[in-house]
Chain A
Amino acid sequence: MSIEIRNIVKTFGEFKALNDLSLNVESGELVALLGPSGCGKTSLLRVIAGLETPDSGQILFHGEDTTDRHVRERQVGFVFQHYALFRHMTVFENVAFGLRVRPKSTRPSDAEIKRKVHDLLQLVQLDWLADRYPAQLSGGQRQRIALARALAVEPKVLLLDEPFGALDTKVRKELRRWLRRLHDEIHVTSVFVTHDQEEALEVADRVVVMNKGQIEQIGSPSEVYDTPASPFVYQFLGDVNLFQSRVHEGWAQVGSAKFAATETSEHATVYVRPHEIDLSRIATPGAISGTITHIRLLGATVRLEVEVPDHDVVEVELTRERQQEGAWQVAETVYLIPREAKVYATV
């Protein structure tokens, strides 16, 4: 089922959480809403679910206007950030809840419910926990039970609010892959909210980057990462070095390096990612000279800090082999050669 979001506005008192926002989600897609806290991503998810009513705008499910439809009739599955499992019910009863509260005419038989719940628990690989209470589960298990509970009502749309937010790093990575596989299996249209760019890039088919109640960019993970549509997206997706520069005859100048500035503006900022910089000991045209001040080992990569005159410290990330080949030392003078850079006019 596709979701169409048209010109949604939502305010909380003075605060504009969603500012005239529109978005289409295709049927069967897995979409990530990515942005910093307060960008409106959770509000958008709750508006789609029907947990919040928008001030204006429309939500269409499969072309049908559902804006005024109550949350319990929308047939969405919602996984809450802190799971919201019913603490007085067993895992089994939690998953069965959505089936049990149906009106008598459409309620499945007890045997049917039992079969269905066990199927779902098998799907999330936690069949053996059926008789436990939520308090007796680990965070990762609770997360999967919450997902099984949401799937029990056969939702047309699955919505997940920071699904991995409350988990530790290791469990988080496992569950991420598991969710991706699960989606490939069941193909239900899904939207999840996250503030973690790595999570969004790894799991989603499409990433929606949000900021201040509006969409900054929509695209596949590689699109948003490789061709950021705005400085905000550039900065939000990974580390970045900024060079403030003057624009002269269409070129932004940083030291002796020149970058093509498309926009006509007096000042521009040049964005370069730390791993897209090469180091050299020989001065070449277009290189920026500096002095290495720190070398830090970060697992598989090495991070160097280079002090560039007139600019702040520049971070350079190298693989360990490159560091060993180059044998870079602190206090050495080096030349930085950006492989990729993007120039945005400074307002």
Chain B
Amino acid sequence: MKFKQSSVLPGFNLALGYSLLYLSLIVLLPLTALFAKTMGLDWATFWAIVTEPRVVATYKVTFGASLIAALINLFVGMLIAWVLVRYPFPGKRFIDALVDLPFALPTAVAGIALATLYAPNGLMGEPLDKLGIKVAFTPLGIVLALTFITLPFVVRTVQPVLEDMERELEEAASSLGATRWQIFSKVILPTIFPALLTGFTLAFARAIGEFGSVIFIAGNMPFKSEITPLMIISKLEQYDYMGATAIAVVMLLVSFGLLLLINGLQWWMAKRLGRRK
């Protein structure tokens, strides 16, 4: 049995060897250290740490806010992708580039900007406050920050699929008597559905781990607006390494699960859309 198919190109052993070594040192070894550290805990202690009421409250906040933010972006992202692909308007190239701002802007900057804007005396916060809506220092603020941070995901997964979609499909549907809405719901939506789902999952996965943009606007009140990554940091600050590690393992397992899900979705998407050269 051969490990590698023979090829005349040089450098395979060097390139792969170096890649594996570097990957092991930077990524795999430290992650192993995390799991090894938790092995020092017996199951009951581990369970007690990760199900402590204050910690459970952070799961609810983190997962809840992430889910809402991802759902909002499912619609907002779909709308933006649709408009960018289908309708002409001035400054389109600029807007298209700007969609990636959340990827390029450091999270801490986004955090303080949003916290200041939506504070009760801020530009956006003041009018909202008059309507009785408090954003900063509430779970709503967390949703806002996460919506900002994960905005590009759905746009960037749906956009290329919409661009590649053949207009003939819509023309065919129309010639068969479908209305515009029927075409959208029966032809376009099923085509972009895998992309939507992938974008949604990517956004959700990113939101769960997000820290920098959230802590400034969240207010970080125990049981109310504390997120799980912050819990890890506060445990660390109290030199509770075991506690921090245990919670980190829970987060990591969730991340791995989502990563597998995303890989599966992308595989499905490639299969659905057919491999393009």
Contacts and interface: CB of A to CB of B under 8 A. Distances in A.
A267 B5 CA distance: 45
Contacts of A12: 5
Contacts of A51: 8
A70 interface: yes
Nearest to B10: A70
A52 interface: yes
- Ranked 9 nearest A-B pairs via Cβ: A53-B6, A71-B8, A51-B8, A50-B8, A52-B6, A70-B8, A52-B8, A12-B5, A53-B8
A51 B5 CA distance: 12
Contacts of B5: 12
Interface string B1-19: 0000110100000000000
Nearest to A53: B6
Contacts of A71: 8
Interface string A185-216: 00000000000000000000000000000000
Nearest to B6: A53
Contacts, number: 9
Given A51-B8, A52-B8, A53-B6, 6 more contacts: A12-B5, A50-B8, A52-B6, A53-B8, A70-B8, A71-B8
Contacts of A50: 8
Chain B, interface residues (CB within 8 Å), range: under 10
Q: Is the interface of B mostly helix, strand, loop or mixed?
A: loop
Contacts of B8: 50-53, 70-71
Chain A, interface residues (CB within 8 Å), range: under 10
Interface in A25-57: 50-53
A71 B8 CA distance: 7
A347 B5 CA distance: 38
Contacts of A70: 8
A12 B6 CA distance: 10
A240 to B, nearest CB: 36
A12 B5 CA distance: 8
A53 B8 CA distance: 8
A52 B6 CA distance: 7
A157 B186 CA distance: 60
Interface in B1-56: 5-6, 8
A52 B5 CA distance: 10
A261 B5 CA distance: 48
A16 to B, nearest CB: 15
A51 B8 CA distance: 6
A200 B222 CA distance: 82
Contacts of A52: 6, 8
Interface string B97-117: 000000000000000000000
Interface string A52-96: 110000000000000000110000000000000000000000000
9 contacts: A12-B5, A50-B8, A51-B8, A52-B6, A52-B8, A53-B6, A53-B8, A70-B8, A71-B8
Nearest to A71: B8
A283 B6 CA distance: 64
B9 to A, nearest CB: 10
A71 B6 CA distance: 13
Contacts of B6: 52-53
A330 to B, nearest CB: 40
Contacts of A53: 6, 8
A70 B6 CA distance: 13
